[in-house]
Amino acid sequence: MSMKNNTHQKIASYISANPDSSNNDICEALFMDPSAVYPHLNALFSAGVLTRRRDCRKYRYSVVPGMYIESDTTRIPTKKPVLRAEEIESLANELIERGLLRRAATVLTEAIGLVKTEREVQRVSRLRTQCLMTAKRQYQGAEA
């Protein structure tokens, strides 16, 4: 199936390679915000490209059996590649800039296991704690 929307194509390609994916799985793989992905998933579901099934409180998406999805021009990995600590920290900084603080904290947790010195562990741990505290403040501010 040829799709005009590039984001639709990326999402469909990812789901084709990773059936039974949740919205969070797709967001993490494509580095997108859940609120940005959800309308695309609904559009693809309504167009008959995707199927979805409820799994507790979330949906799991798969490509309709027999549906051909053209490969995206940028290859989306089906498994996470092994990254060095510097690359993981760079990824975390990108997530922080985009306001995805809890996701950045999760990435920084991986970096803690990869850094070599105690000083680096402390530095990454401090950054992770800052992300979590800021995310908590934002969440509490949104509730009020």
Give residue-wise pLDDT tens across range 28-64.
888 888 888 999 999 999 989 999 999 888 889 998 8
**pLDDT for 73:** 45
Instruction: Report d(CA 131, CA 104) in Å as an integer.
Output: 7
Which single residue is written with the structure tokens 């059936």?
A: 19
Q: In angstroms, rounded to a whole number, what is the distance separating the alpha carbons of residues 64 and 143?
A: 39
Q: Which residue has the tokens 């059996």?
A: 65
pTM above 0.75, yes or no: no
DSSP track, 60-119: EEEEPTT---PPPSSPPPSSPPP--HHHHHHHHHHHHHTT-HHHHHHHHHHHHHH--SHH
Q: What is the pLDDT of residue 144?
A: 54
Phi and psi (nearest 5°) for 82?
-75, 125
Dist CA 28 CA 18 (whole Å): 13
Neighbours of 58 (CB within 10 A): 12
- Band of the pLDDT at 82, cuts 50, 70, 90? low
| Torsion sign, CA atoms 12, 14, 18, 23 | negative
Residue 74 pLDDT exceeds 50 = no
Tens of pLDDT, residues 88-129: 788 888 888 888 888 888 888 877 777 778 888 888 888 889
